[in-house]
Amino acid sequence: MFENENYDVILQRAIDRVKEWAENRRVTLDTREGSIIRTSMSPFSFEVGILYAALMDVLDESFADTASRPFLIRRAAERGLSSDEATFAIRQGEFNIDVPIGSRFSLNRLNYIVTVKISDGIFEMQCETAGNVGNLESGTLIPIDYIDGLTSARLTDVLIPGEDEESTESFRRRYFDSLNAQAFGGNIRDYVEKTLEIPGVGGVKVYRAWNGGGTVKLVILDSQYHKPSDYLVNEVQTLIDPEQNQGEGMGLATIGHIVTVVGVDETIVNISAHITFQTGWDWTSVLPSIEQTIDKYFNELAEEWDDVDWVNDPAAGLVVRISQIETRILNLTGILDIQNTAINGQALNLQLDPDNIPVRGSLTNV
């Protein structure tokens, strides 16, 4: 609307108006470059150009599809939505003794604090730095303060993945999703929104009446798009519908609904192909790149796991495609050609079960 309004356009339009006024009165006025009229109108035209630019900004910030993050947050707040903040990874620490709750340990650049005892020598540990960075490393922990009798300390499993702050575009999609489907009273959208708000959950499918009337099954994926830990599954179960009080409305679930939370299953995908290498390359030198490429592809599929139309087609699942595997491998340095690709021994795309995600198995050059 205002995108073509700039200094030159506004100034020329003002000069044209002066000329028109003069012609109507049969008066000759000098409007050339450097004339008094043009010089006097230049500052005004510049300021009006700034005003038009500001009006364009106002228009952009008024609509959710073009709003910048601060104004998108304000728009979403009208619907009770807020951007997800970064969360802290909950890890498992393993020690030769029971260490004090609150004791702190370091692993490279990150610090972890002991929060809850799981069993003898096994503790929950929270990363002191929020975000995905707390999920990445495992290994020997160094105590920040001296602990008598401590001879072994290791950081092992990710119990609840830490998440980075929600991106602007992810938040924008969530805002529009809230307009397309209304969450209310234990409907599917209600369970989806409540479950995805739980730290560590990255995807969910909701199955109604899966074990008779009044039963609901939630199948979840963790925020790293992997199979969730038993710890995370139990956390979600407790928050949604505690096992000791199922159906009584003691959690987030609607009263009368008996909710069962489970994690996705994994399908091992073995891949074989005949690969021709570029000069100076062989299977050993390209294998790490192929593994990373396949892992990235499978992770992208897992991100789409709950985007499949499982509401209208409960049998719909992910598809691992040979064409995708070949295209991605062929783009790697050192690969000249690839053919005769097979998945789990068959030269066919692999259709996964609805509640499964792919996991890399063996890679073979035949």
Q: Kindly write down the DSSP assignment for every residue of 131-164, as one continuous string.
A: SGGGGS--EE-EESS--TT---EEEEEEEE---P
Distance CA 280, CA 289 (A): 15
Residues 145 and 64: beta-carbon distance below 8 Å = no
63-73: average pLDDT: 93
The tens digit of pLDDT for each residue in 160-216 reads: 999 999 999 999 988 988 887 777 778 888 999 899 999 999 999 999 889 998 899
Distance CA 160, CA 265 (A): 17
Give the chain's mean pLDDT: 91
Share of the chain above pLDDT 90, in %: 67
Distance CA 54, CA 70 (A): 17
- pLDDT (0 to 100) of residue 242: 94
Q: Residue 365 — very low, low, confident or very high, per pLDDT cuts 50/70/90?
A: very high
* Exposure class string for 41-65: b at 16+ Cβ within 10 A, else e: beeebeebbeebeeeeeeeebeebe
300-307: average pLDDT: 92
Q: Residue 358 — very low, low, confident or very high, per pLDDT cuts 50/70/90?
A: very high
- pLDDT (0 to 100) of residue 2: 63
- pLDDT (0 to 100) of residue 311: 65
Q: Residue 217 — very low, low, confident or very high, per pLDDT cuts 50/70/90?
A: very high
- What angle in degrees, to the nearest 10, is found between the helix axes of 168-180 and 69-77? 30
- pLDDT (0 to 100) of residue 4: 76
- pLDDT (0 to 100) of residue 220: 96
Residue (of 199, 197, 203) closest to 218 by Cα position: 203
Residue (of 257, 262, 213) closest to 237 by Cα position: 262
Q: Residue 3 — very low, low, confident or very high, per pLDDT cuts 50/70/90?
A: low
- pLDDT (0 to 100) of residue 330: 95
> Which positions ≥6 away from 340 have C-beta within 8 Å?
272, 273, 274, 347, 366
Q: Higher confidence at residue 1 or residue 74?
A: 74
Antiparallel, parallel or unpaired: β 258-263 and 215-222: parallel
- pLDDT (0 to 100) of residue 308: 75
Distance CA 176, CA 181 (A): 9
Distance CA 168, CA 83 (A): 8
Q: Residue 96 — very low, low, confident or very high, per pLDDT cuts 50/70/90?
A: very high
In the predicted structure, residue 1 carries a pLDDT above the cut 70: no
What is the distance of C-alpha 199 from the center of its chain? 12
Distance CA 38, CA 216 (A): 74
The tens digit of pLDDT for each residue in 25-45 reads: 888 877 788 888 888 888 888
DSSP single-letter state for residue 49: H
Phi-psi region of 121 (alpha: psi -120 to 50; beta: other; left: phi over 0): left
Q: Residue 310 — very low, low, confident or very high, per pLDDT cuts 50/70/90?
A: low
In the predicted structure, residue 237 carries a pLDDT above the cut 90: yes
Distance CA 121, CA 329 (A): 44
What type of residue sits at position 74?
Answer: R
> What is the spatial order of strands in the sheet that 356-365 belongs to?
335-343, 265-277, 356-365
What is the distance of C-alpha 94 from the center of its chain? 30
Residues 286 and 273: beta-carbon distance below 8 Å = no
- pLDDT (0 to 100) of residue 229: 94
Which of 29-38, 47-56, 212-221 has the lowest average pLDDT?
A: 29-38
In the predicted structure, residue 315 carries a pLDDT above the cut 90: no
> Which positions ≥6 away from 272 have C-beta within 8 Å?
340, 341, 342, 345, 362, 363, 364, 365, 366
In the predicted structure, residue 13 carries a pLDDT above the cut 80: yes
Distance CA 277, CA 208 (A): 51
Q: Which helix (H) or strand (E) holds 46?
A: helix 36-62
